[in-house]
Structure 1
Amino acid sequence: MVQYITTPWRTRSCLFQVRDALYPSPTSPLSPEELSSARREAIARVSIWAQRGNCPHLVESTALLSAAILNDVPGNEPWGVRAAYASSFSRFVTGLLDSHQTSKRKISMYALAKTLELPATYVELRHQATHEELPSLQKLRGAARKALEWIWERYWADLLLVPEGREEKDEQEWVRRVVVEGDREDWRVVEEEARIRGEEKVMSALMDVQQGEAARDSAVLLRTVRLSRRMISEDGDKEEAELGGKTLEEVRRELDTVRERLDQEKSQEATRAELESMESSDDQTKGWARWEGPWIPTPIGTVRY
């Protein structure tokens, strides 16, 4: 069954236009006024995306932090500037950590921050801005710029511009670079980028690699199963730690299990779609239906024809 990924932007080129406006190049020929105008337009576009829904949290946080920086100009009330910085930064940290609360027992923010390689000072500043007196303007300015740098390194820098009509080919090339050439070291970044590209496409490309390069190279096979486990597991670190003691044959059997699991999920989705279609057909042929015309009261015992 085909899975559709809904994004608030029409094409990926729109997303990259926003990225280039929010993170302008140091060698940009535009004047400071033109750069500020471009950033404001990008922020307004992200605001529209947020209203449409399915806008990634880091994209929204980039726009909010950039808006707070643009609001930090001479003449504005310092208290209002501090409040804008504090609210945007707190929303960035809270939304990021809450989105990774996957277990039934709530994990502390410091533990989640450590897992995501988010500095603990961000959690402390978020707590101070929420529950205590607002931090100083100097501290908030530095925190906002460092947060934008963190978002760039963890999200924007690894996005690839996909030419129109070449999405499927690009997924295969990306998987081949990751598992065959091994050009990615941070597997959390790999996992996040894989989810952005689409889990089904990435898993399909992984199976193609398994039948090709992975069948001849044990290192490629290990990287293939590592990425597969991170895609299907909620706790990538635990799964990765358990991978080291497995033999090559066990890894191959595990990949076959992953493939069977994917085939089973596709079969279940097809069955579910067929049942929904049958239920819809039954609804159209049922004996009782909602009366569409105006209501006319009729005494009991009177039959209307």
Structure 2
Amino acid sequence: MAVHSQPWRHDSELAMVRDWFFPDHAKHDAFSAPPEDMRQRAVDRVNLWLFKAGRLPAAVVSTASLTEALIHDNGVVHQGDRHGCGDGPERRNVSEPALQSIYAMAFARFVNGFVDRDVARSQAGALALDDSRGPGATTATASSLAGQSASSTGRGESSMYAHAVTIGMPEVFVDLRHQVTHGDLPGLYYLRKMALQALQWLYQRWWVKHAHASPARALREHAERRQLCLEMKARRDVDERQDVEFSVDGVAERHSATMQTNVFPLEDVGSFPTSSHKRKRDG
């Protein structure tokens, strides 16, 4: 699916999100500390892009949906804003039926986004198995593969299976989509395994081709914004602490003034009139 107005600022930002989604494929310094898990940040960034642009390539949306399912499965959700100024990870326990539903929805959206009849033609151009010979060759290859699939499966050229062949999508992905759509949810182990396989397929079929820039520029900008955010948060904490101290001092001063008003000095005790009984006895 072609996106005329890309919501990411530059290709480096797309590459940065790619590495956040797929840390195993990212280049890291062998002597540096293990990288932080930034998958939730990647999901948040895609949601921001979707809000700004209204639509995104199916591969980007599917990557975010499948990754979010895995994050829920891990039981850890990172709190904070998109710059990383949060309170750290928060563990959330999700029931097994809920996790199955999350995986099922993500996987159905993933397959539908590529091989549904309404979108299959547009996806064939972006993900065709052989796109090195020009658009005409791509269309011919897609039609040929669809015909081969129809002959071998007997499902017809318009079926999801035929469209899946044109973009190199494994048939088992379409099988699972049909299974979960009809309410037959597999176990978590199988759903988890298929989600990981789908992400690797997305990486090889889309991210490698479309996100090939260096993430260095975007990472530098992200680090600068995060540092600024942390400094602003620190100043805000100081201001709030000073406001609390000022309020406490004000309460203490008012309390002290009230006590001084309501307590008589000791030297004034003798000025109180004595009772009439005591005056008679003294006389």
> TM-score of the superposition, structure 1-length normalised?
0.47
Shift of 1:72: 0.3
Structure 1 match to 2:20: 21
Q: 1:133 aligns with which of 184, 192, 200?
A: 184
Among 213, 232, 239, the residue aligned to 1:161: 213
Q: Deviations over 1:221-266 (max 9, x none)?
A: xxxxxxxxxxxxxxxxxxxxxxxxxxxxxxxxxxxxxxxxxxxxxx
TM-aligned CA deviation for residue 30 of structure 1: 5.0
- The structure having more radius of gyration, on CA atoms, is 2
CA 1:121–1:64 in structure 2 vs 1: closer, same or farther (change >3 Å)?
A: same
Counterpart in the other structure of 1:234: none
TM-score, structure 2 as length reference = 0.51
- Identity rate, percent: 38
TM-fit CA distance, 1:6: 0.9
Alpha carbons of 1:145 and 1:50: their partners in 2 closer, same or farther (altered >3 Å)?
A: same
Q: How does 1:167-246 map to 2 (within 5 A)?
A: none
- Between 1:51-60 and 1:20-29, the stretch displaced more is 20-29
Number of the residue aligned with 1:41: 41
Q: Which amino acid aligns with 1:161?
A: A
Which amino acid counterpart does residue 124 of structure 1 have in structure 2? D
Given that 1:7 and 1:54 are in contact with CA atoms closer than 8 Å, whether structure 2 keeps it comes out as no
Residue number in structure 2 paired with 1:67: 68
- Equivalence for 2:159: 108
Which of 112, 116, 135 is equivalent to 1:94?
A: 112
Unaligned runs of 5+ in 2: 76-92, 123-142, 144-155, 216-283
Q: What does residue 102 of structure 2 align with?
A: 84
Question: How far, CA to CA, are the matches of 2:63 and 2:184 in structure 1?
Answer: 24
Task: Check whether the contact 2:18–2:207 (CA below 8 A) recurs between aligned residues.
Answer: yes
Structure 1 counterpart of 2:280:
none
Number of residues paired by the alignment? 156
Paired with 2:71 and 2:55, the residues of 1 have a C-alpha distance of: 25
In structure 1, the gaps of 5 or more residues are 164-305
Distance 2:214 2:196 in 1: 28
Tell me what 1:57 maps to. Answer: 58
Q: Report 1 or 2 for greater relative contact order, CA contacts < 8 Å, sequence distance ≥ 6.
A: 2
The offset of 1:138, in angstroms, is 1.1
Determine if contact 1:68/1:84 at 8 Å carries over to the other structure: yes
- Give the aligned residue type for 1:118: M
* Greater than 6 Å deviation, 4+ residue runs: none
Using the alignment, how far apart are the partners of 2:23 and 2:74 within structure 1? 19
